[in-house]
């Protein structure tokens, strides 16, 4: 298994702290660093900076929101970053959600699946170096009725640029299996992943006559090491408010992919109640009904022995790359946690899986 992490500006006290984290993470042997966008800083600007500071580690956009840029603008950024980094760039794309796309950018959040599919078509046309011409439901290039003719980009892609999709819904998972090089997942419960995630990914893979080996399954979770059971219980309690935000505050009242993912994995009633309380303004109440098993099932927290065992479950479920979100109050703490987790992933990755994924 490979190791990765995701960084986002608001999770660090300043840019120099994030810079130091990334530089030191590469020294620890981290394989991939994804840079998030969300509703804060943009990903491409930071990625260009980090490409100049690193030498070996792969760098990815985790993720660029397809509703906020044209497909050709995405392709231009991807080609630039790939060429700047000497082929170390991975293009991560995601649909985001109505709150960010409509509430922040003022762009309709319509037909996200169609928009994603057509964006990938156009991006790959641009990567190919030919003239860009496309007629779809969301995009018409060149603009119909204009005097414009098809153009090609003056900058060519010097390296292959893998495309990863952030997907949680069944339809987006099927598209991921059909057209992407990798899947950026979250809210992952390995025990229920076969029906909640992999059945849909495999359906898409079958459509394209591909196998699971041709898709990098990259799953993310927070990692933190507890000294004992008492400290583990404190960790669980401290994470319930954040999970309540994901289930109740991410997206809109009717469209929340995180809430839907937890619902499909056995917590439908709890997820619905958390959303209802959060939307009504009772955020503390929403956190109180988050169950301990919801936190433990979707994170890598606990004693070192427990984290090792959970990594084995992830490996056997079919995870290829573990995206680690290291806990810690200081930069040193986070790097210590990350280094410890990287060693565990390597250890578990060297073992033979107890039951290979289908």
Q: What is the mean pLDDT of the chain?
A: 92
Could you tell me what percent of the chain has a pLDDT over 90?
Answer: 68
Whether the predicted pLDDT of 353 surpasses 60: yes
How confident is the model at residue 264, as a pLDDT? 80
Which residues fall within 8 angstroms of residue 205, CB to CB, at 6 or more apart?
A: 177, 178, 211, 212, 214, 215
> 251 falls in which pLDDT band (50, 70, 90)?
low
Which residues on neighbouring strands pair with residue 132, listed in sequence order? 151
Could you tell me what percent of the chain has a pLDDT over 70?
Answer: 97
229-250 pLDDT per residue, tens: 888 888 888 888 888 888 887 7
- Give the orientation angle of helix 240-248 with respect to helix 268-279, to 10 degrees: 80
The rounded distance, in Å, linking the Cα atoms of 264 and 260 is 6
105-145 pLDDT per residue, tens: 999 988 999 999 999 999 999 999 999 999 999 999 999 99
From residue 263, alpha-carbon distances to 153, 268, 286, 294 in Å are 44, 4, 15, 11
The rounded distance, in Å, linking the Cα atoms of 27 and 54 is 9
131-181 pLDDT per residue, tens: 999 999 999 999 999 999 999 999 999 999 999 999 999 999 999 999 999
């Amino acid at each position: 298994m490979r190791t990765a992490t995701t960084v986002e500006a608001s999770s660090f006290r300043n840019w120099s702290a994030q810079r130091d984290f990334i530089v030191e993470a590469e020294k620890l042997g981290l394989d991939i660093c994804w840079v998030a966008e969300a509703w804060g800083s943009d990903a491409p600007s930071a990625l260009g900076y980090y490409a100049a500071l690193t030498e070996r580690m792969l760098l990815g956009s985790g993720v660029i929101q397809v509703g906020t840029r044209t497909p050709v603008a995405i392709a231009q950024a991807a080609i630039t970053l790939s060429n700047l980094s000497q082929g170390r760039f991975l293009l991560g794309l995601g649909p985001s959600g109505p709150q960010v796309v409509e509430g922040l950018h003022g762009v309709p959040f319509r037909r996200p699946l169609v928009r994603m599919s057509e964006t990938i078509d156009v991006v790959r046309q641009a990567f190919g170096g030919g003239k860009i011409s496309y007629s779809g439901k969301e995009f018409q290039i060149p603009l119909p009725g204009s005097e414009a003719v098809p153009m090609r980009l003056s900058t060519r892609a010097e390296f292959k640029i893998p495309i990863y999709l952030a997907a949680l819904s069944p339809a987006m998972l099927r598209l991921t299996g059909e057209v992407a090089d990798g899947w950026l997942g979250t809210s992952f419960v390995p025990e229920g992943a076969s029906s909640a995630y992999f059945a849909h990914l495999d359906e898409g893979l079958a459509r394209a006559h591909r196998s699971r080996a041709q898709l990098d399954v990259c799953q993310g979770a927070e990692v933190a090491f507890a000294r004992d059971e008492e400290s583990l219980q404190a960790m669980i309690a401290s994470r319930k408010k954040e999970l309540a935000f994901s289930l109740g505050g991410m997206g809109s009242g009717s469209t929340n992919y995180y809430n839907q993912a937890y619902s499909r994995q056995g917590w439908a009633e709890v997820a619905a109640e958390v959303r209802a309380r959060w939307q009504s303004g009772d955020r503390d109440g929403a956190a109180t009904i988050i169950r301990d098993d919801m936190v433990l099932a979707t994170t890598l927290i606990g004693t070192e022995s427990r984290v090792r065992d959970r990594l084995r479950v992830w490996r056997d479920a079919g995870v290829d790359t573990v995206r680690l979100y290291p806990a810690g109050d200081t930069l040193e703490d986070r790097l210590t946690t990350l280094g410890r987790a990287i060693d565990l992933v390597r250890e578990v990755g060297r073992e033979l899986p107890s039951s290979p994924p289908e």
